[in-house]
Chain A
Amino acid sequence: MFGDYSIGDLGSIFVMQGFAGLILFSVYVLMALGLAIIFGQMGVINMAHGEFMILGAYVTWMTSNLFQTYLPSLFSGYFFLAMILAFLASGALGMVVEWVLIRHLYKRPLDTLLATWGLSLMLQQAYRSVFGAREVGVELPQWMLGSLHVTDSIEVPINGVFVMGLTVLITISVAYVLYMSRWGRQVRAVVQNRVMAGAVGINTEKVDRFTFGLGCGIAGVAGSAFTMIGSTGPTSGQLYIVDTFLVVVFGGAASLLGTIASAFSISQTQSTLEFFMSGSMAKVLTLLAVVGILMLRPQGLFALKVRK
């Protein structure tokens, strides 16, 4: 298939394809981080993850509308505020959900699956009733549209670079919070031995609530960022949930590093295959590879060694 193209063409396509892979990688990490925290640290399978993301997207949409109406002069910067608000809104909803629903189900992981799935249906219908069944268009400031013109044939999408930057920032913050801070130490203690952690004076309920809130909040930021590349509608969250679980399970549930490694391998495989064959076929082959590897390594790429 390359016979007809010049070396220059091919070179730039490989560069662009590399970027496409990196962007997909960032998107996957951003989607999966929140879920990985909740699933990995708490063992809760949160099927409503996509809906928490879409809450972030709707918050972004509302912020953009507010700015357009009342503060048009500051419109170009609204996105940063929107992301913070998205984090707070999704995080707050997450904490409420944890308090009302999840904390009663910690000893029944399969029931959390059903309960959060029900929650996702309820949230979808709530979005539909509040925001309408149609998709909403989130207007972006001018500087976030278009692409960086590197050479005549190499163009890098600005929103892709933005997502990449955001992913790096959030990953580092999460890693810092989990592995360096006092609170992170408490979270890890609870994961390793809940009873003992309680015995040494850690308020495990509070830790649980904040962990769940943090995971949902990150989902909200992801949803906010994805208004740049995807749709915002009541059921848009469903578009992400399968890929998100794929990344988390493949990476090994309890490991942040595993999530990143798994997002990297899946995104690179998929984006390379997509280039050489059709989109559907690429997806099939990627999934087959993941299934094959999980059969050999059921615990995922990286597994945390915990005494059970």
Chain B
Amino acid sequence: MSDEANKGLLSPLRRKLLMGMAAVPAITMLPRASFAQAPATSAVNTTGLAVTDTEVTVGILHSATGTMAISETGSIQAEKLAIEQINAAGGVLGRKIKFIQEDGASDWPTFAEKAKKLLVNDKVAAIMGCWTSASRKAVLPVVEQYNGMLYYPTFYEGLEQSKNVIYTGQEATQQILAGLNWIAKEKGAKSFFFIGSDYIWPRTSNKIARKHVENVLKGKVVGEEYYALGSTQFNSVINKIKLTKPDVIFTDVVGGSNVAFYKQLKAAGVDLAKQPLLTISVTEDEIDGIGGENIAGAYACMKYFQSLDNPNNKAFVSAFKKMWGEKTVIGDVTQAAYLGPWLWKLTVEKAGSFDVDKIAAASPGVEFKGAPEGYVRVHENHHLWSKTRVGRAKLDGQFELIYETADLVEPDPFPKGYQ
């Protein structure tokens, strides 16, 4: 039975009933069982969001074009998958999710403009979007001014918290500290060489890592180097690494530079099986470009790997591949983006409302048991409690899980003693 047929039969009747202020019985008369419980729109939407009796609109705001498309494509795919699955399971408060996708085009002012368009013109109930910190910083004042709700998927440097944002990736201390502890213990590492791309995330992350290495692990940072975004020549720094012979190379190089760095590291004869390297910027997505043979043996510190062995993840991976093709890979951020629509749905249902203020208030404590990474819970500070994991890159471009924290790690976006 097609939806069109339903609508054709019902809409004149529905309109009449609505005019008669009898929305609730009208909805319960809908023949689809799963939509039977839907509460009245006037009750769940007091702020004029794009919510009808049968539909609710959310926005997807990522770069589908420009430099960042390479990274953000996975997030878009994951969010669409989550929305499709939620709809198949009955939607949110009896309403199907409809999405409007806007392209941030890898340009930060465009992100802000499109966010404003989604909130002001389309009145979306939530935005799943942004990837780089720069785009988030551009969108933040907009979602705060127009009181929107943003679900942000990327692991990032922390030092931020907003009523209007839920951060579904890890903040820096969550991602880094457990990994450093592990490698210090496992490899007896005392000396570290830091190398990163030159912008806010690597610099903040390395600052945190340095404090942890020096104050907690009582080790030494023998080098800290930054290369401009897009640098393609790393031979000099690789020589420096060879000269200082660190126990661990700790990297947060991003983008195209990543590929150049690992290819040149391999070409310079650095054997990652013997020289431990811990990265916080390489996911399965990046390995696609780097090539498994160039990075095999490196350790990555993340909260999610595609190879995680649990029933949630198996279902997620197979659904993802079914929707987007056998060859697609799923990295940490893609999984975090998948959490966005689900957490929003759970929060809406907990709050019993689409209103942004109620969602913001209801978010802390929301649990998602079906997360591919395992159980997650939203913290008071709107970040997620999640486990930290260390994986070792294999030749086929996948990670082998080596270590995971026993408990969920508390998010701490303003870490004391690390600033």
A residues sitting closer than 8 Å to B (CB atoms) are 5, 9, 13, 16-17, 19-20, 23-24, 27, 125, 128, 132-139, 145-147, 149, 153, 155, 157-160, 226, 228-236, 238-240, 270-271, 274-275, 278-280, 282-283
Contact B237 A279 (CB under 8 A): yes
Q: Cβ of B256: which chain A residues have Cβ within 8 Å of it?
A: 135, 230-231, 233, 235-236, 239
Q: Which of B126-134, B210-218, B261-269 contacts A (4 or more CB under 8 A)?
A: B261-269
| B250: min CB distance to chain A, Å | 15
> Which one, A149, A230, A235, A280, contacts B67 given CB within 8 A?
A235
Contact B289 A279 (CB under 8 A): no
Contact B263 A230 (CB under 8 A): yes
Assess A139 versus B232: contact at CB under 8 Å? Given A157-B268, A229-B263. Answer: no
B226 on interface, CB distance cutoff 8 Å = yes
Q: Cβ of A153: which chain B residues have Cβ within 8 Å of it?
A: 242
Assess A279 versus B267: contact at CB under 8 Å? Given A135-B70, A135-B256. Answer: no
Q: Cβ of B239: which chain A residues have Cβ within 8 Å of it?
A: 13, 16-17, 20, 275
Task: Mark each residue of chain B from 69 to 89: 1 if its CB lies under 8 Å from any CB of chain A, else 0.
Answer: 110010000000000000000
A155-B269, A233-B256 known, 20 other contacts, Cβ within 8 Å: A13-B242, A24-B233, A27-B233, A128-B69, A134-B288, A145-B293, A157-B264, A157-B269, A159-B263, A230-B259, A230-B260, A231-B290, A233-B70, A235-B67, A275-B236, A275-B240, A278-B226, A279-B198, A280-B227, A283-B228
Q: Cβ of A147: which chain B residues have Cβ within 8 Å of it?
A: 267-269
Measured CB to CB, the nearest residue on chain B to A242 is: B230
Interface positions, chain B 257-316, Cβ under 8 Å from A, are 257-260, 263-264, 266-269, 285-293
For the complex, what is the distance from the CA of A279 to the CA of B236, rounded to whole Å?
A: 9
> Which one, A20, A238, A278, contacts B230 given CB within 8 A?
A238
B residues sitting closer than 8 Å to A (CB atoms) are 64-67, 69-70, 73, 198, 224-228, 230-233, 235-240, 242-243, 255-260, 263-264, 266-269, 285-293
Contact A228 B263 (CB under 8 A): yes
Q: Cβ of B286: which chain A residues have Cβ within 8 Å of it?
A: 135
Assess A159 versus B289: contact at CB under 8 Å? Given A231-B260, A238-B67, A279-B231. Answer: no
Assess A230 versus B232: contact at CB under 8 Å? Given A145-B293, A279-B225. Answer: yes
Q: Cβ of B257: which chain A residues have Cβ within 8 Å of it?
A: 231
For the complex, what is the distance from the CA of A128 to the CA of B331, rounded to whole Å?
A: 20
Q: Cβ of A229: which chain B residues have Cβ within 8 Å of it?
A: 232-233, 260, 263-264, 267
For the complex, what is the distance from the CA of A125 to the CA of B286, rounded to whole Å?
A: 20
Assess A133 versus B69: contact at CB under 8 Å? Given A157-B267, A157-B269, A233-B256. Answer: yes
Q: Cβ of A128: which chain B residues have Cβ within 8 Å of it?
A: 65, 69
Contact B230 A239 (CB under 8 A): yes
Contact A135 B263 (CB under 8 A): no
For the complex, what is the distance from the CA of A235 to the CA of B105, rounded to whole Å?
A: 13
Q: Cβ of B225: which chain A residues have Cβ within 8 Å of it?
A: 278-279
Q: Cβ of B292: which chain A residues have Cβ within 8 Å of it?
A: 137
Contact A232 B289 (CB under 8 A): yes
| A24: min CB distance to chain B, Å | 6
Contact A279 B228 (CB under 8 A): yes
Measured CB to CB, the nearest residue on chain B to A271 is: B236
For the complex, what is the distance from the CA of A99 to the CA of B105, rounded to whole Å?
A: 31
> Which one, B230, B237, B269, B290, contacts A146 given CB within 8 A?
B269
For the complex, what is the distance from the CA of A128 to the CA of B68, rounded to whole Å?
A: 12
Contact B291 A139 (CB under 8 A): yes
| A265: min CB distance to chain B, Å | 16
Q: Cβ of B260: which chain A residues have Cβ within 8 Å of it?
A: 229-231
* Closest 8 A/B residue pairs (Cβ): A135-B289, A231-B259, A20-B235, A157-B267, A274-B236, A155-B269, A147-B269, A133-B69
* Pairs A–B under 8 Å by Cβ, sample size 24: A19-B235, A20-B236, A24-B235, A133-B73, A135-B256, A139-B291, A147-B268, A157-B269, A229-B232, A229-B233, A229-B264, A229-B267, A231-B259, A232-B289, A233-B70, A233-B256, A239-B232, A240-B232, A274-B236, A274-B237, A278-B226, A279-B231, A280-B226, A282-B236
Contact A279 B293 (CB under 8 A): no
| B256: min CB distance to chain A, Å | 4
Interface of B is mostly: helix
Contact B268 A137 (CB under 8 A): no
Q: Cβ of A138: which chain B residues have Cβ within 8 Å of it?
A: 291
For the complex, what is the distance from the CA of A222 to the CA of B226, rounded to whole Å?
A: 26
| B76: min CB distance to chain A, Å | 10
Assess A234 versus B266: contact at CB under 8 Å? Given A136-B289, A275-B239, A279-B227. Answer: no
Contact B258 A231 (CB under 8 A): yes
Q: Cβ of B267: which chain A residues have Cβ within 8 Å of it?
A: 145-147, 157-160, 228-229
> Which one, A23, A158, A231, contacts B235 given CB within 8 A?
A23
Measured CB to CB, the nearest residue on chain A to B236 is: A274
Q: Cβ of B243: which chain A residues have Cβ within 8 Å of it?
A: 5, 9, 13
> Which one, A5, A13, A133, A280, contacts B70 given CB within 8 A?
A133
Contact A279 B226 (CB under 8 A): yes
Measured CB to CB, the nearest residue on chain B to A125 is: B65
For the complex, what is the distance from the CA of A147 to the CA of B238, rounded to whole Å?
A: 13
Q: Cβ of A134: which chain B residues have Cβ within 8 Å of it?
A: 70, 73, 285, 288-289
Q: Cβ of B266: which chain A residues have Cβ within 8 Å of it?
A: 145-146
For the complex, what is the distance from the CA of A231 to the CA of B257, rounded to whole Å?
A: 7
Q: Cβ of B232: which chain A residues have Cβ within 8 Å of it?
A: 226, 229-231, 239-240
For the complex, what is the distance from the CA of A9 to the CA of B242, rounded to whole Å?
A: 10
Measured CB to CB, the nearest residue on chain B to A24 is: B233
For the complex, what is the distance from the CA of A157 to the CA of B267, rounded to whole Å?
A: 5
Measured CB to CB, the nearest residue on chain B to A153 is: B242
For the complex, what is the distance from the CA of A228 to the CA of B255, rounded to whole Å?
A: 16
Contact B242 A16 (CB under 8 A): yes
Q: Cβ of A233: which chain B residues have Cβ within 8 Å of it?
A: 70, 256, 289
Contact A271 B258 (CB under 8 A): no
| A74: min CB distance to chain B, Å | 19
| B410: min CB distance to chain A, Å | 33
Q: Cβ of A238: which chain B residues have Cβ within 8 Å of it?
A: 67, 230
| B262: min CB distance to chain A, Å | 10
Measured CB to CB, the nearest residue on chain B to A275 is: B236
Measured CB to CB, the nearest residue on chain A to B255 is: A231
For the complex, what is the distance from the CA of A279 to the CA of B224, rounded to whole Å?
A: 10
Measured CB to CB, the nearest residue on chain B to A161 is: B267
For the complex, what is the distance from the CA of A159 to the CA of B234, rounded to whole Å?
A: 14
Measured CB to CB, the nearest residue on chain B to A235 is: B67
For the complex, what is the distance from the CA of A23 to the CA of B227, rounded to whole Å?
A: 18
Measured CB to CB, the nearest residue on chain A to B72 is: A133
